[in-house]
């Protein structure tokens, strides 16, 4: 009998990489990808594994109590890897309630369903979370697993809240759980509302590159496939009830990252050096913009033997090439609703 593993949000950016990895590497699992296909979910991301016998897609909303309870009751669910979420900070500033609904309410619905019907003796509930729950750093220091939570955006507040519920279900009901908090991911299949694919798309189309504030905010970037390998390690080897921080040890000021992107794309698009940089446009800062994120990943490295597999230069180049080679994917996701999102977010900024 294969073990039934639910991955929520498997049609999104990180989720699709996690689904692909588990379907390909663990034939003893039957992976059920539960995703409601919001604007961020895209089955094109999983075309290559669509027909695999140990993979199934279920279009369902994690906030639908009846659908979730029916799924867990009928399918003998061994474990859950929970990634489904509203994930974009700027959208959370406009619509905080959507984030409460999916990230908090949805997580508690899944916890209840797993507690009532899941294999709580042998399986586990894994919540995939973000380093943004720890708040903002100044020039020095890094987030540790013991850093107190101090979320600043509605997005990070909703993720912090869901982390707390997951922990509370462990303490209160002894639910087997594990949590990881990861830094910013980059890679293929990321929706172009996030910094890197948005900038690549705009450079390609000679559109302004909207840099928030002075561009001095710092993020720690990790290749999405390395996040997927970390999730694999935490899911299989992480200790029950524990939290693991995941990061790339790869800090960039936004403006430096954007200039690097311009430099590489000038070469790849046969433009004169300095052409794309001219598109940089400073715009009003994001409200409550966290200054710096940085992760101390010693715990996952020493306990679980995980470390990133690629250096940033290689991962970045692979990522840029993917967006250049997948015009159709980028065009599909930037038509329709993206146009009005972009207009609302950037036109009068
Ligand atoms: P994403 O926005 O690309 O994908 C989210 C997925 O969840 C989409 O497929 C969407 O359709 C699905 N979804 C949303 N609401 C749903 C609902 N109510 N029911 C079912 N499915 C629903 O997000 P991502 O960047 O891949 O992030 C995945 C997870 O990793 C999130 O929990 C996020 O908080 C976390 N995370 C992201 C990053 C990052 O850099 N992107 C870093 C650390 C942690
Ligand atoms: P983002 O990709 O939204 O990730 P997060 O806010 O979760 O870290 O943004 C990364 C950084 O880039 C963040 O400091 C905000 C900044 N940013 C811009 O300057 N311009 C943009 O158009 C976007 C989307 C982000």
Q: Confirm if 149 and 134 have CB atoms less than 8 A apart.
A: yes
**Nearest ligand to the C-alpha atom of residue 59:** 1
What is the pLDDT, as a whole number, of residue 199?
Answer: 98
55-59 and 184-186 strand pairing? unpaired
Residue 292 lies in a domain: no
Decide whether any atom of ligand 2 lies within 6 Å of the 292 Cβ: no
Range of 63's domain? Answer: 3-186+221-246
What is the pLDDT, as a whole number, of residue 24?
Answer: 98
Model confidence at 239: pLDDT above 90: yes
Q: In whole angstroms, what is the distance from residue 13 CA to residue 38 CA?
A: 12
Q: In whole angstroms, what is the distance from residue 124 CA to residue 150 CA?
A: 27
- Residues 205 and 226 reside in one and the same domain: no
Q: Is the pTM of this model over 0.85?
A: yes
Q: How many domains does the chain have?
A: 2
Residue 267 lies in a domain: yes
- Residues 170 and 53 reside in one and the same domain: yes
What is the pLDDT, as a whole number, of residue 89?
Answer: 98
What is the pLDDT, as a whole number, of residue 349?
Answer: 79
- For Cα atoms 65, 9, 224, give the angle at the middle one, nearest 5 degrees: 155
290 is known as an active-site residue: no
- Residues 182 and 208 reside in one and the same domain: no
Decide whether any atom of ligand 1 lies within 6 Å of the 333 Cβ: no
Distance 274 CA to ligand 1 centre (A): 35
- Residues 175 and 263 reside in one and the same domain: no
- Residues 145 and 202 reside in one and the same domain: no
Residue 304 lies in a domain: no
Name the band, by pLDDT with cuts 50, 70 and 90, for residue 126.
very high
What is the pLDDT, as a whole number, of residue 185?
Answer: 98
39 is known as an active-site residue: no
Give the residue from 325, 306, 334 showing the smallest Cα distance to 268. Answer: 325
- Residues 226 and 263 reside in one and the same domain: no
Residue 290 lies in a domain: no
Distance 41 CA to ligand 1 centre (A): 8
What's the whole-number mean pLDDT along residues 95-124? 98
Q: Confirm if 179 and 214 have CB atoms less than 8 A apart.
A: no
Residue 272 lies in a domain: yes
Name the band, by pLDDT with cuts 50, 70 and 90, for residue 36.
very high
With tokens 């009532």, the residue in question is 116
> pLDDT exceeding 90 applies to what percent of the chain?
99
- Residues 89 and 129 reside in one and the same domain: yes
131 is known as an active-site residue: yes
- Residues 104 and 208 reside in one and the same domain: no
Residue 298 lies in a domain: no
Q: Is 294 exposed, middle or buried (0-12, 13-18, 19+ CB in 10 A)?
A: buried
Q: Which two tokens stand for residue 91?
A: 């959208």
DSSP structural state of residue 102 = I
Decide whether any atom of ligand 2 lies within 6 Å of the 195 Cβ: yes
Distance 284 CA to ligand 1 centre (A): 26
Model confidence at 348: pLDDT above 90: no
State CA 185 to chain mean position distance: 7
- Residues 240 and 320 reside in one and the same domain: no
- Residues 225 and 319 reside in one and the same domain: no
Q: In whole angstroms, what is the distance from residue 164 CA to residue 158 CA?
A: 10
- Residues 234 and 264 reside in one and the same domain: no
Residue 346 lies in a domain: no
* DSSP per residue, 25-46: H-TTEEEEEEE---TT--GGGG
State CA 36 to chain mean position distance: 16
The rounded mean pLDDT for the chain is 97
């Amino acid at each position: 009998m294969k073990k039934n593993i639910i991955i929520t949000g498997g049609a999104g950016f990180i989720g699709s990489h996690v689904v692909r990895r588990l379907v390909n590497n663990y034939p003893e699992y039957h992976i059920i990808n539960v995703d409601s296909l919001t604007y961020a979910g895209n089955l094109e991301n999983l075309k290559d594994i669509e027909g695999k016998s140990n993979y199934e897609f279920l279009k369902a909303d994690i906030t639908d109590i009846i659908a979730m309870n029916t799924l867990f009751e009928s399918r003998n669910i061994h474990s859950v890897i929970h990634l489904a979420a509203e994930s974009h900070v700027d959208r959370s500033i406009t619509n905080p309630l959507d984030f409460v609904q999916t990230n908090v309410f949805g997580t508690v619905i899944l916890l209840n369903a797993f507690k009532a019907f899941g294999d709580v003796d042998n399986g586990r509930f894994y919540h995939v979370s973000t380093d943004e729950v720890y708040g903002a750093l100044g020039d020095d220091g890094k987030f540790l697993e013991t850093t107190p939570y101090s979320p600043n955006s509605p997005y990070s507040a909703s993720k912090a809240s869901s982390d707390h519920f997951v922990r509370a279900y462990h303490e209160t009901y002894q639910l087997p759980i594990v949590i990881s908090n990861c830094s910013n991911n980059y890679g293929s299949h990321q929706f172009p509302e996030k910094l890197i694919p948005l900038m690549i798309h705009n450079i390609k189309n000679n559109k302004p590159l909207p840099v928030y504030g002075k561009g001095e905010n710092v993020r720690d970037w990790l290749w999405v496939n390395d996040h997927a390998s970390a999730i694999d390690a935490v899911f299989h080897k992480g200790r029950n009830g524990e939290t693991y921080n995941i990061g790339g040890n790869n800090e960039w000021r936004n403006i430096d990252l954007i200039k690097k992107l311009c430099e590489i794309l000038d070469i790849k698009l046969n433009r004169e050096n300095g052409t794309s940089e001219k598109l940089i446009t400073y715009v009003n800062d994001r409200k409550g913009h966290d200054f710096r994120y940085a992760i101390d990943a010693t715990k996952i490295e020493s306990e679980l033997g995980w470390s990133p597999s690629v250096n940033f230069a290689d991962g970045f180049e692979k990522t840029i090439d993917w967006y250049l080679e997948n015009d159709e994917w980028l065009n599909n996701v930037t038509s329709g609703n993206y146009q009005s999102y972009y207009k609302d977010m950037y036109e009068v900024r």
